Homo-oligomer: A and B are copies of this chain.
Amino acid sequence: MIKALIFDVFGTCVDWRSSVAREVAAVLPGVDALAFATAWRAEYDPAMARIRDGARGYVPLDDLHLENLDTVARAFGVRVPDRWALNAAWERLDPWPDVLEGLVALQAQAIIAPCSNGSIALMTRLARYAGLPWDCILGADLARDYKPRPEVYLASCAALRLAPAEVMMVAAHNDDLAAARAAGLATGFVPRPEEHGPGQERDLRAESDWDIVAADFRDLARRFAALCGG
């Protein structure tokens, strides 16, 4: 019944916070790297919001990340020696420990692909760095819009020539799944209680009756097999 699983990536598959902080620490030694990474990420949603609202045409996330880096560098009062090199930190994010094993087990059962707000270029380079075995790259670039706009989920299903009900969106974020469900997709939740570091308050648990609620990607693969009779 479900023929493809599509995945949120930042936070769900990879630990952007500690990975970006590592890259920041390497080039900005005097800076609080975790705080810098958190501030950089905090600019993410407002930057996309202007595009989702139509106030600005589609700009790939690579370019938004660079603009946001400039904003955060100003706020921290630092000069970044090579802005594009540090911007590529988003292509070098480490997967959570359960992800590779889980994806391999899921790939044996269905098509797997990212449905991220990252561009095809960014997702391709990240997959090579992290070893994510995607069958193809879907997401924002196909729709030229950003999640949680329904067009992004629907364009990803259409690219696979599947109906939304034949596709499961997997995310660690309840709002991503709510938007996917509203667009007609099946939903799978995996918590990432350390995405935002210790003291994280949001998305600690499933906030709706998602089709699968799993402990991690290995558990997701087992539950998906049970759901689909595999």
Q: Is the CB of B135 within 8 A of A124?
A: yes
Complex copy number for this chain: 2
Q: Is the CB of A159 within 8 A of B121?
A: yes
Number of interface residues of A (CB under 8 A): 22
Q: Mark A113-133, 1 if CB is under 8 A from B, else 0.
A: 100000111011101100000
Q: Mark A55-90, 1 if CB is under 8 A from B, else 0.
A: 000001010000000000000000000000000000
Kindly provide the distance from the CB of A141 to the nearest chain B CB, expressed in whole angstroms.
7
Counting CB contacts under 8 A, is A39 at the interface? no
Kindly provide the distance from the CB of A119 to the nearest chain B CB, expressed in whole angstroms.
7
Q: Is the CB of A120 within 8 A of B160?
A: yes
Q: Is the CB of B136 within 8 A of A124?
A: yes
Which residues of chain B come closer than 8 Å to A62, judged between CB atoms? 161
Known: A113-B124, A121-B159. 9 other contacts (CB 8 A): A60-B161, A119-B161, A120-B160, A124-B135, A127-B136, A128-B135, A136-B136, A137-B137, A141-B159
